[in-house]
Structure 1
Amino acid sequence: MPFSSAFRRFVRGDIAADIVGRPKLWYSISALLVLFSIAGLLIRGLNFGVEFTGGSVFTIKAPNASIEQVRESVDGQTGSESIVQKAGDNWRVTTGELSSNEIALVEQHVSDELGIPDKEISSQQVGSTWGGDVSEKAWQALIVFMILIVIYLSVTFESRMALAAVVALVHDLIITAGIYAWSGFHVTPATLLGFLTILGYSLYDAVVVFDMIKEVTKPLNERSKITYSQAANQALSSTLVRSLNTTLVAILPVASILFIGSTLLGAGTLKDLSLALFVGMIVGTYSSICVATPMLVQLKEREPLYRTLRENIERREASAKRQKKAGAADGEADEDDGPADAQEPPEGAEPASGGTGVAVKVVQAGPRNQPKKGTRGRRRS
């Protein structure tokens, strides 16, 4: 099948993908991603910003200066490496905690090095206590969010769907945090907002898939012709294109902020949020399709109804195979018996001599019929 034709059929939803039937493949991929993310968290760790660790933040209005000039002007006075980000025409420089005198010296040194007036430089002191409060409230929001999600899914759908959705959400958080650690981006309050946003997005995708599965599997009983796994895979295939298109449309503007806004336009303050959204949306779509749904199917297949349904279908398929095999064997036997019957001479037959073939001479058994008396005379006259 040509690639263009297959792609058009896939976009229309005419091609069904066997996703539910390959749980080991998806679980293996997820396990590798989770291990990779945990390694990043253990080896590199999260790079918390000044909002969590505390420090001094300088805002410098020097549109004509380069990032190297700004960093050297600040580091030359503090003696440590600072973090420089560009936000429009301004530079945002983050350092460790400095005293009031040290801040005044840095401002004077930057003004002399860059040739800008003092009023173009502002500073802000951030304490670590504020960052601790933000972290605590973020954890509280995450726990409350998880509890509400479990309650909502348990009431709207069932407990097994709630369990599968929560596992997918934890899966998304670990992978996103791990990639964040490997990238070295600073964790800021915008990052926490991005994490909470991707949880909602991942949950939305899972709810769409679960709702379709619930609708398709509702009529199933012990006499149905398809198993729960097959019905769930049909439901997933019908929503697959929709999920992929929704993710693609949502990722495009986020990718523009991440790659174009932060790289070309220098909007460094947006990359913290955009990276979390970009990674979380991709991983969330993958988990709702390839992690939550196969896990739900495995949990549902253990129920007595669907286990009995699978056993009944397997018995019917095995019986049909036996009948087909028996019919094929009878047909072969009939073909073998036909030539043998044709070669056997009838009862009382004698083989005739001569010729290359086998001739059969039939000998009539019993008394011959003699003509009646007087028949020959009457015929003669």
Structure 2
Amino acid sequence: MRVFQNANHRFLSMRRPAYFASAAIITIGLVSMAFRGGLRAGVEFTGGVLLEVQFSQTTDIAQIRDALNAGGTSGVQIQQLRAVGQESNDFLLRVPIGDDEDQNETRDQIRASLETEFAAGSFEIARGDALSAKVGGEFQRTAVLAVLLSFLLTLIYLAFRFEWRFGVAAVIATAHDMLITFGFISLLNIEMSLATVAALLTIIGYSLNDTIVVFDRVRENLRKKRKESYDTTLDRSLNETLPRTVLTSGTTLMALVSLVVIGGAVIRPFAGVLIIGVLVGTYSSIFVASPVLLEIHDRARRRAAMAARRAG
């Protein structure tokens, strides 16, 4: 991109304001999670019944909720499935249940409650899934393990491909992205489902890919510019990879915004979480990963200088 052809921004000089901004955003997210008692887990993690109900006539959520409450089924999460600008009479019902509750009985109770308010032939249960609380707990453990394993494998790869300090900086930057993303998920009250976990794992890959591109250019410039200071080399590398960073993030965001606008209610949380992750990942590859790498380098240099003085 020609606008970045001669870019010479001093990104590292802005690292302290960036640290403050990141700390403030993370703190707000943590406060939100503490206030809400954690993230809102979907039926995939808590156990429950998931039903897609299609009505033949115009229906609103309030009518469905009143019918379910009258039938003795409370705590149901109701979501209308429609794309922006389109009317739809399809609804997604999430009903949390415990291990001691029968899934088929819950499904029959929902059907009976709806038939009390609506005619028997005026709606159809198009899809039904059920998960026990035990399976939901297993999904939780698997999701956490997947995230932790991705961090571990990334650290091993970067330590082997570059140096250990590159790996540590990349993992810290990715952890920063996860914390901010979790905060926004809590603030926006987005449900934690398997699709959301898939989005989080995608964010990890996206953020790491962006960081690795910058670090690869850092390694090249360290070989070419041996007399150049470390912070100058980092700034040079960030400016040289800036066109790629902006283009990749921009085109990715175009696709994700399209999914949010016209993709419908089912795909919208997945795309929304990815939008947050792409924005945060792009920011962290410039204002977090490289500054953290500089901090690690400076500390290692100071320790080496102290060791040399003691030996002398």
Write the letter of the residue equivalent to 1:258.
V
Rg larger for: 1
SS of alignment partner, residue 12 of structure 2: coil
**Percent of aligned pairs with the same amino acid:** 28
Superposition map of 1:197-216 within 5 A: 197-216=202-221
User: For the residues of structure 2 that align with 1:123 and 1:78, how far apart are their CA atoms?
Assistant: 20
User: For the residues of structure 2 that align with 1:74 and 1:13, how far apart are their CA atoms?
Assistant: 61
Superposition map of 1:213-292 within 5 A: 213-221=218-226, 224=227, 226-261=228-263, 267-292=264-289
Which residue number in structure 1 is paired with residue 12 of structure 2?
20
Contact 1:56 1:95 in 2 (8 A): yes
Whether 1:96 and 2:96 are equivalent positions in the alignment is yes
User: For the residues of structure 2 that align with 1:139 and 1:17, how far apart are their CA atoms?
Assistant: 38
SS of alignment partner, residue 78 of structure 1: coil
Change (3 A) 1:160 1:109: same
Query: Following TM superposition, by how much is the alpha carbon of 1:14 offset from its aligned partner in structure 2, in angstroms?
Result: 1.9
Residue deviations 1:19-60 (CA, integer Å, cap 9, x gap): 012221111111111111111111112110111112233321
Query: Following TM superposition, by how much is the alpha carbon of 1:123 offset from its aligned partner in structure 2, in angstroms?
Result: 4.7
Query: Following TM superposition, by how much is the alpha carbon of 1:240 offset from its aligned partner in structure 2, in angstroms?
Result: 1.3
Query: Following TM superposition, by how much is the alpha carbon of 1:74 offset from its aligned partner in structure 2, in angstroms?
Result: 2.2
Whether 1:107 and 2:125 are equivalent positions in the alignment is no
Write the letter of the residue equivalent to 1:61.
Q
User: For the residues of structure 2 that align with 1:103 and 1:164, how far apart are their CA atoms?
Assistant: 49
User: For the residues of structure 1 that align with 2:280 and 2:301, how far apart are their CA atoms?
Assistant: 33
User: For the residues of structure 1 that align with 2:66 and 2:5, how far apart are their CA atoms?
Assistant: 57
User: For the residues of structure 1 that align with 2:33 and 2:140, how far apart are their CA atoms?
Assistant: 17
Write the letter of the residue equivalent to 1:208.
V
Contact 1:187 1:272 in 2 (8 A): no
User: For the residues of structure 2 that align with 1:85 and 1:128, how far apart are their CA atoms?
Assistant: 22
User: For the residues of structure 2 that align with 1:34 and 1:286, how far apart are their CA atoms?
Assistant: 14
Whether 1:148 and 2:153 are equivalent positions in the alignment is yes
**Residue number among 39, 43, 58 corresponding to 1:46 in the alignment:** 39
SS of alignment partner, residue 50 of structure 2: strand
User: For the residues of structure 2 that align with 1:62 and 1:157, how far apart are their CA atoms?
Assistant: 58
Change (3 A) 1:164 1:31: same
Contact 2:53 2:123 in 1 (8 A): no
SS of alignment partner, residue 80 of structure 1: coil
User: For the residues of structure 2 that align with 1:170 and 1:278, how far apart are their CA atoms?
Assistant: 17
Change (3 A) 1:124 1:199: closer
Change (3 A) 1:242 1:128: same
Which structure carries more relative contact order (alpha carbon 8 Å, separation 6+)? 2
Aligned residues: 291
Contact 2:50 2:92 in 1 (8 A): yes
User: For the residues of structure 2 that align with 1:137 and 1:102, how far apart are their CA atoms?
Assistant: 27
User: For the residues of structure 2 that align with 1:174 and 1:117, how far apart are their CA atoms?
Assistant: 47
Query: Following TM superposition, by how much is the alpha carbon of 1:200 offset from its aligned partner in structure 2, in angstroms?
Result: 0.1
Query: Following TM superposition, by how much is the alpha carbon of 1:178 offset from its aligned partner in structure 2, in angstroms?
Result: 1.0
SS of alignment partner, residue 71 of structure 2: helix
User: For the residues of structure 2 that align with 1:180 and 1:58, how far apart are their CA atoms?
Assistant: 24
| Deviation larger for 282-291 or 132-141 | 132-141
Contact 2:75 2:96 in 1 (8 A): no
Change (3 A) 1:103 1:251: same
Write the letter of the residue equivalent to 2:54.
K
Superposition map of 1:162-177 within 5 A: 162-177=167-182
SS of alignment partner, residue 84 of structure 1: strand
Q: Which runs of 5+ in 2 are unaligned?
A: 83-88, 306-312
Query: Following TM superposition, by how much is the alpha carbon of 1:195 offset from its aligned partner in structure 2, in angstroms?
Result: 0.5
SS of alignment partner, residue 269 of structure 1: coil
Which residue number in structure 2 is paired with residue 86 of structure 1?
80
Residue deviations 1:174-233 (CA, integer Å, cap 9, x gap): 110111011112111111111100000000000000011111121344xx2x31111211
TM-score, scaled relative to structure 1: 0.70
Query: Following TM superposition, by how much is the alpha carbon of 1:154 offset from its aligned partner in structure 2, in angstroms?
Result: 0.7
Write the letter of the residue equivalent to 2:169.
A
TM-score, scaled relative to structure 2: 0.85
Superposition map of 1:350-365 within 5 A: none
Which residue number in structure 1 is paired with residue 85 of structure 2?
none
Query: Following TM superposition, by how much is the alpha carbon of 1:303 offset from its aligned partner in structure 2, in angstroms?
Result: 5.0
Which residue number in structure 1 is paired with residue 308 of structure 2?
none
User: For the residues of structure 1 that align with 2:247 and 2:237, how far apart are their CA atoms?
Assistant: 17
Which residue number in structure 1 is paired with residue 55 of structure 2?
62
User: For the residues of structure 2 that align with 1:170 and 1:42, how far apart are their CA atoms?
Assistant: 19
User: For the residues of structure 2 that align with 1:251 and 1:47, how far apart are their CA atoms?
Assistant: 25
SS of alignment partner, residue 14 of structure 1: coil
SS of alignment partner, residue 231 of structure 1: helix
User: For the residues of structure 2 that align with 1:210 and 1:103, how far apart are their CA atoms?
Assistant: 53
Query: Following TM superposition, by how much is the alpha carbon of 1:139 offset from its aligned partner in structure 2, in angstroms?
Result: 1.7
Change (3 A) 1:95 1:78: farther
